[in-house]
A and B are shown apart, each in its own frame.
Chain A
Amino acid sequence: MTDKIFSKEEWLAGLKALSQTYRVFVPVKDGDFHTFMPLDNGKIPDFDYQNTRLSPKSIIYPQSERMFEYSLDPESPEANVLKESSKDYSPMAIVGIRPCDAHAFQIVKRNFDNPEFRDPWWVQRAESTTLVGLGCNEPCSTCFCTELGEGPFGQEGLDLLLYHMGEGFLVKGLTQKGEELLGKITGGRPANDQDLKAAGDLAASASGKTGPAVPTDRLREKVTNDLFNAPFWEEVAFACLNCGTCTFLCPTCWCFDIQDEVLGKAGDRIRNWDSCMFPLFTLHGSGHNPRNNKFQRVRQRFMHKLKYYVDKYQNGVQCSGCGRCVRYCPVNIDIREVCKLMNNYA
């Protein structure tokens, strides 16, 4: 695998050239925060950022996606036939994705791409995407990726990893897919031992800077019903507004709802992100709602991430420690505190 050093100018010029063959997504400053945007129309990537407000999950898994379309026109030879909507699977690159968000794609993959189910759209988009990570020199105090993954310079799920070193970048090749992308970027020079040592030091110093420990070690041994019936859920849920901020900002929340929308005689079948915080999420056709109370919905979110997922996949928790829900929950319901309650519950 290749390790190369690029100056900032070389790297930015390289990305621009890359956008001839890839749809390149980069972090762009947009008002008070950063958003992943396609590198076009003079958009300026800003790699001096902590993390984007919304995770990049929507690039592979859009908030609203047209799955099928159909005609309700009886005159049409294809009346009432569902036809798959055309989709763009041309190569994409997410450049500057944080290791927590790349780790999150690995978590989501267990749901969308497993021996039992293969979601054709998620899988094809993920396969056509190259993830170019950017290690976090300065993780936030609300980050806990070191606990839940490989930390601020974790490589899991990445094809290339960038080390932001002073005036330039060290780019570390991690997969064949990454090497292919790197091969299309001209300039740079091979990294020497000194560069690699500096990069290693950067990563080592960052891993000590994430927030306080969030223990998850005892979640697996807990009895599901004990946690489910634990007395703390009402209190945890009191402040909750049942908005979708946590689930929509979360890189690992994958739930969706399917809707038909018709205009005149043309219809679309669309899948939209859904949220277990919304009462409608579990409303039955009969009118019965098994999660009619707020605390049941809040409990579901935490039980799913920190217990059901843990038991089902036996591969950690459904959280990458990005800290978005901690920072942006409007009423400060802190998953780190809830995780402690669950992990320590006797």
Chain B
Amino acid sequence: MLKYAEKIRETALKLLKEDRIDTFIGYRKGTVPMMNEPVLITDPDRVDQLHWDSFCALNLCNYLTKRTDRIGIVATGCNSRNIVTHIVENQIKRDQLYIVGIPCEGMIDHRAVLRAVKYREILDIREEGDRFLVKGADFEETFEKNKFLQSNCAICTHRNPVIHDEMLGEQVEEQSGVEPFTDVEKIEEMEPVKKQAFFTRLISRCIRCYACRNACPLCYCPTCFVDESSPQWVGKSSDPTDTMTFHFLRAYHCAGRCTDCGACERVCPMGISMRQFTKKLNKDCLDLFSWEAGLTLDQRPPLDVYRPDDYNDFIR
């Protein structure tokens, strides 16, 4: 993945110098290991800030919403699918964008790395091919990247960008034989009481910081339902009922639109696996509508359209 950093800088420089874009959105290297910061570059002299590695796991599409300038943007498979969704939902125009595609081999799960080094403080991480080297004050360990992929990346079948103006590398082979919904199936089999207990436990640590909502490019409402105060829809205390309402409704708002980019889980300061909610809806969309979000500009998401001649019985 590291090899793309230089290519991103070259491309951004070219695009800015040739006045084909006004701004370029990518990442710059973080100040702490396993963290990178989304950055907006307008000055060609500052493209050297741009960086790329296996910890670029936010969703840059989040920064496109309602921009009016001409933007160059780095996009992996999932990020590109969110760009498609954004275009379909009129949050950005296709002709404003110059999409720099990166064939993605998955992002590294920073929590899994911490577990592997037994929570000792990591001072530096270096990627070398399909391995990475983790350094602390008194240890040095090498791991295979493939065993440390974020759980959404491990089941991803759209690693190559679905929309792009330029690709920075050869397409990577898509993963085959993955079973993306084994965890969802387990929950589906639970008795309702057990299900409720499972979800209650899942979100018990939530502090209502809304990092999951805000990291998600799908959440662009001018006023979110949890922030609505007249009338107030959801209580603002740490009452579990309100917290559950937030998580359920947030997930439902993503139905048919979620690309399983994993940004919500990546950013959660409390380590909550809220993809358990959205994955169920992704599975339903696939089962009921043969739909995966963000693969085409020609179709609106399934819960966004109604056709009298719909062939599904359940919708009539």
**Is B87 interfacial (CB 8 A cutoff)?**
no
* CB neighbours of A241 from chain B (8 A): 62, 211, 214-215, 267
Q: Which of B189-216 contact A (CB under 8 A)?
A: 207-211, 213-215
* CB neighbours of A230 from chain B (8 A): none
Asked if A333 and B238 sit within 8 Å, CB to CB, the answer is no
A213 to chain B, nearest CB (A): 14
* CB neighbours of B62 from chain A (8 A): 241
Contact of B236 among A248, A272, A333, A337 (CB under 8 A): A272
Contact of A326 among B31, B123, B214 (CB under 8 A): B31
A278 to chain B, nearest CB (A): 7
* CB neighbours of A31 from chain B (8 A): 271
| A259–B209 CA distance with the chains assembled, in angstroms | 17
| A239–B58 CA distance with the chains assembled, in angstroms | 10
* CB neighbours of B121 from chain A (8 A): 50, 138, 140-141
B contact face: mostly helix, strand, loop, or mixed: loop
A262 to chain B, nearest CB (A): 10
Asked if B37 and A333 sit within 8 Å, CB to CB, the answer is yes
Q: A53-B269, A242-B214, A332-B37 are in contact. Are A272 and B238 (CB under 8 A)?
A: yes
Asked if A330 and B58 sit within 8 Å, CB to CB, the answer is yes
Contact of A280 among B36, B111, B211, B227 (CB under 8 A): B227
* CB neighbours of B267 from chain A (8 A): 241, 243, 245, 330-331
Q: Closest residue to B60 on the A side, CB-wise? A: A239
A331 to chain B, nearest CB (A): 6
Q: Closest residue to A274 on the B side, CB-wise? A: B236
**Is A261 interfacial (CB 8 A cutoff)?**
yes
| A32–B118 CA distance with the chains assembled, in angstroms | 10
**Is B235 interfacial (CB 8 A cutoff)?**
yes
B200 to chain A, nearest CB (A): 16
Q: Which of A307-337 contact B (CB under 8 A)?
A: 326-334, 336-337
| A249–B111 CA distance with the chains assembled, in angstroms | 18
**Is B237 interfacial (CB 8 A cutoff)?**
yes
Cβ proximity bits A235-276 to B, threshold 8 Å, 1 near / 0 not: 100110111110011000000010101000000001010010
Residue total for A at the interface (Cβ-Cβ under 8 A): 43
**Is B68 interfacial (CB 8 A cutoff)?**
no
**Is A63 interfacial (CB 8 A cutoff)?**
yes
Contact of A330 among B31, B211, B239 (CB under 8 A): B211
Cβ proximity bits B48-72 to A, threshold 8 Å, 1 near / 0 not: 0000000000100011000000000
**Is A89 interfacial (CB 8 A cutoff)?**
no
Q: A249-B269, A328-B269 are in contact. Are A244 and B30 (CB under 8 A)?
A: no
Cβ proximity bits A119-152 to B, threshold 8 Å, 1 near / 0 not: 0000000000000000000101110000000000
Q: Closest residue to B268 on the A side, CB-wise? A: A330
Asked if B271 and A244 sit within 8 Å, CB to CB, the answer is no
**Is A54 interfacial (CB 8 A cutoff)?**
yes
A170 to chain B, nearest CB (A): 24
* CB neighbours of B239 from chain A (8 A): 64
Q: Closest residue to B211 on the A side, CB-wise? A: A243
Contact of A244 among B111, B211, B238 (CB under 8 A): B211
Asked if A244 and B31 sit within 8 Å, CB to CB, the answer is no
B57 to chain A, nearest CB (A): 10
* CB neighbours of B227 from chain A (8 A): 278-280
| A280–B119 CA distance with the chains assembled, in angstroms | 36
* CB neighbours of B137 from chain A (8 A): 138
Asked if B236 and A259 sit within 8 Å, CB to CB, the answer is yes
Residue total for B at the interface (Cβ-Cβ under 8 A): 40
**Is A33 interfacial (CB 8 A cutoff)?**
yes
**Is B39 interfacial (CB 8 A cutoff)?**
yes
| A323–B236 CA distance with the chains assembled, in angstroms | 27
A145 to chain B, nearest CB (A): 15
Asked if B235 and A261 sit within 8 Å, CB to CB, the answer is yes
* CB neighbours of B208 from chain A (8 A): 244
Asked if B32 and A332 sit within 8 Å, CB to CB, the answer is yes
Q: A33-B271, A142-B32, A272-B236 are in contact. Are A243 and B38 (CB under 8 A)?
A: no
Asked if B37 and A331 sit within 8 Å, CB to CB, the answer is yes
Of A239, A279, A326, A336, the most chain B CB neighbours within 10 A belong to A239
Asked if A259 and B32 sit within 8 Å, CB to CB, the answer is no
Asked if B115 and A32 sit within 8 Å, CB to CB, the answer is yes
| A272–B226 CA distance with the chains assembled, in angstroms | 14
* CB neighbours of A138 from chain B (8 A): 121, 137
Contact of B237 among A64, A239, A279 (CB under 8 A): A64
**Is B266 interfacial (CB 8 A cutoff)?**
yes
Asked if B63 and A238 sit within 8 Å, CB to CB, the answer is yes
**Is B78 interfacial (CB 8 A cutoff)?**
no
Cβ proximity bits B119-139 to A, threshold 8 Å, 1 near / 0 not: 101010000000000000100
* CB neighbours of A248 from chain B (8 A): 207, 209, 269
B124 to chain A, nearest CB (A): 10
| A283–B39 CA distance with the chains assembled, in angstroms | 28
* CB neighbours of B97 from chain A (8 A): none
* CB neighbours of A337 from chain B (8 A): 31
**Is B270 interfacial (CB 8 A cutoff)?**
yes
Chain B residues with CB under 8 Å of chain A are: 30-32, 35-40, 58, 62-63, 111, 114-115, 119, 121, 123, 137, 207-211, 213-215, 227, 229, 232, 235-239, 266-267, 269-271
A33-B271, A238-B38, A261-B237 known; 9 new pairs, CB 8 Å cut-off, are A63-B207, A142-B32, A238-B63, A241-B267, A244-B209, A248-B207, A331-B267, A332-B37, A337-B31
Can you list 23 A-B pairs, Cβ within 8 angstroms, ordered by A? A32-B115, A32-B119, A50-B121, A53-B269, A53-B270, A54-B207, A63-B207, A141-B121, A141-B123, A238-B38, A239-B38, A242-B214, A243-B213, A244-B209, A248-B207, A278-B227, A279-B227, A283-B229, A330-B58, A332-B31, A332-B37, A333-B37, A334-B31
Which 7 A-B residue pairs are closest in the complex by CB-CB distance? A330-B267, A244-B209, A243-B211, A64-B237, A241-B214, A332-B30, A332-B37
Chain A residues with CB under 8 Å of chain B are: 31-33, 50, 53-54, 63-64, 138, 140-142, 235, 238-239, 241-245, 248-249, 257, 259, 261, 270, 272, 275, 278-280, 283, 326-334, 336-337
